[in-house]
A = this chain, B = another copy of it.
Amino acid sequence: MNLEAQYNQYLINGKPSAGLSVNDRGLAYGDGVFRTFLVNNGVPHHWELQYQKLSQDCQALGISCPNNDVLTSDIKTLFNDGSDAVAKIIVTRGESSRGYAVPDDIQTSRFVIKSALPIYPLNNQTQGVKLHLCELKLGLQPKFAGVKHLNRLENVLARMEWKDASIADGLLLDSNDNVIECTMSNIFARYGNELITPSLEECGVAGIARARIIENTKRFNLDIKIEALKLNKLMQADEIIICNSLFGAWQVVSFNGKHWAKQVLDAQLRKMLMN
């Protein structure tokens, strides 16, 4: 398959050749939300969870979420070749004239974009990954913490901090020096049979893979705690795992000057997440 051609496939408000308006508030203000997930053989992975999160995120920003049927139909149209690919859905508040005020009659815009599966080194699964400790610290914004919104300059600038291709992701602290997440993944730390993931009440993105791990810890004989986590406590973890909806789960084996032996929890979680 021609990846370049695949990469360029998209629907804007259901149409394959529509243009994106320069007046869209997604461009003007990052006034919208998004989801990124796998599509296997034309079928979106855990669509109900993805739609539920999209809908919650829209609600958090006061954006009218497109109906499930509408998005399901867009996905069906775009992935009708039965391909394995990545779907990205962007929902913005819509178009408006200049200025922050939102017109009463604004209509949501939706963008569904198909792109090639990412190619990750197999080593990430078999040997674990290395993390960079980001210098940039996440600002606190409880009004939309947890939401996967389009204001992602912090992630972009954090990602610009390293060029070393052997680094899988960068760990982000918040401005109070709490561990929050990585630029493209959530994080878990294991201490014996206790799994801790940072509270995301003040910043960060609460991803679907994180939610699924939280809901399924019992099956791995682990207890889960969602709470503030400091860097020095993270460094004492028996095991650190990062996760997202595209790669599943990877163990962190090198971070901030410390090394961990490769263990098996990441493979167990990955198997659960990818099913």
* A interface residues, Cβ below 8 angstroms from B: 7-8, 10, 12, 19-31, 34, 36, 61-62, 86, 88, 90, 92-93, 97-102, 111, 113, 115, 118, 136, 139-141, 143-144, 149-160, 175, 183-184, 203
Contacts and interface: CB of A to CB of B under 8 A. Distances in A.
Q: How many copies does the complex hold?
A: 2
A175 B100 contact: no
Contacts of A31: 152-153, 156
Contacts of A10: 22
A140 B203 CA distance: 11
B203 A153 contact: no
A173 to B, nearest CB: 13
Contact of A25 (B92, B100, B156): B156
A97 B159 CA distance: 15
A10 B19 CA distance: 14
Contacts of A20: 19-22, 24, 27
Contact of A113 (B7, B22, B158): B22
Contacts of A26: 27
B19 A102 contact: no
Given A150-B27, A159-B102, A140 B139 contact: yes
The winner among A22, A118, A159 for most chain B CB atoms within 10 A is A22
Given A61-B153, A139-B139, A156-B100, A29 B27 contact: no
Given A19-B19, A22-B10, A30-B30, A100 B140 contact: no
Given A20-B20, A99-B184, A140-B175, 18 more contacts: A12-B22, A20-B22, A20-B27, A22-B111, A28-B90, A29-B30, A29-B150, A29-B155, A30-B153, A31-B156, A62-B157, A100-B156, A100-B184, A102-B159, A139-B175, A141-B175, A143-B154, A144-B157
B102 A160 contact: yes
